[in-house]
A and B are shown apart, each in its own frame.
Chain A
Amino acid sequence: DVKVTQSSRYLVKRTGEKVFLECVQDMDHENMFWYRQDPGLGLRLIYFSYDVKMKEKGDIPEGYSVSREKKERFSLILESASTNQTSMYLCASSFRLKPEQFFGPGTRLTVL
């Protein structure tokens, strides 16, 4: 079974802190994605990566950065957390040229 894991289910941080959200997949997927989910807005793509050390901006990259040093791991970084980044963050992965994305359980981040 495909497994996508995220480092925390719940996280509480303070404004201005640097925050790392980690995502690991065990299926040798080339593509990895970070989304945020807010009520009434659905899922919005923050960043994605189609190979190690490669990254592309999604629809809402402002205030975020990413790192992909290994194929199985994709990190989302909030350089200086703000209250408007309080959200559910979902990581996903997929094979290149295959349509289905597999999602992790999500991290609910609260920034105080």
Chain B
Amino acid sequence: AQKITQTQPGMFVQEKEAVTLDCTYDTSDPSYGLFWYKQPSSGEMIFLIYQGSYDQQNATEGRYSLNFQKARKSANLVISASQLGDSAMYFCAMREGWGGSEKLVFGKGTKLTVNP
């Protein structure tokens, strides 16, 4: 069974508008972490934001925020005020457990296109 599900293969948004990229996860481990990475056409993976399963507050980093709904097992990425440079692939990932096993499991990604 997929541990990370990104149901949107592609998303379009107008410049300056907000967009939400969906991510649901599946784990029985009480300790886990959720990540979002951005991959522009150049290919490098850029870390955007992290949410730990015990974090009380939703994570925010500049224009990026993570809408963490633990009961629903969702960790959606919200990008506010989209810019043309936000056009890229976006990957949600999860780390299970803690202490020596820092493997990440990635979703299949969402391609975001920001239109001028």
Contacts and interface: CB of A to CB of B under 8 A. Distances in A.
Q: Do A and B come together as binding partners? A: yes
Interface of A: 31, 33, 35, 40-45, 48, 50, 58, 88, 90, 92, 94, 96-106, 108
B43 A100 contact: no
Given A88-B43, A92-B45, A45 B103 contact: yes
B43 A105 contact: yes
B45 A90 contact: yes
B102 A42 contact: no
A41 B4 CA distance: 11
Contacts of A101: 35, 47, 102, 104
A63 B109 CA distance: 25
A96 B100 contact: yes
Interface of B: 4, 33, 35, 37, 42-47, 50, 52, 91, 93, 95, 98-100, 102-109
A102 B102 CA distance: 12
Contacts of B33: 99
Given A41-B108, A97-B102, A105-B43, 17 more contacts: A33-B104, A40-B108, A42-B106, A44-B106, A88-B43, A98-B102, A99-B35, A99-B52, A99-B95, A99-B102, A100-B35, A101-B35, A102-B47, A103-B45, A103-B46, A105-B42, A108-B43
Given A99-B33, A99-B52, A100-B50, A45 B104 contact: yes
Contact of B50 (A96, A99, A103): A99
A35 B46 CA distance: 15
A108 B42 CA distance: 11
Contacts of A100: 35, 47, 50
Which 7 pairs across A and B sit closest by C-beta, in order of nearness? A103-B45, A43-B106, A42-B108, A42-B106, A106-B43, A99-B33, A105-B44
21 contacts: A33-B103, A35-B106, A41-B108, A42-B91, A42-B106, A43-B93, A44-B106, A45-B103, A45-B105, A48-B103, A58-B103, A94-B102, A97-B102, A98-B102, A99-B35, A99-B52, A100-B35, A100-B50, A101-B102, A103-B37, A104-B44
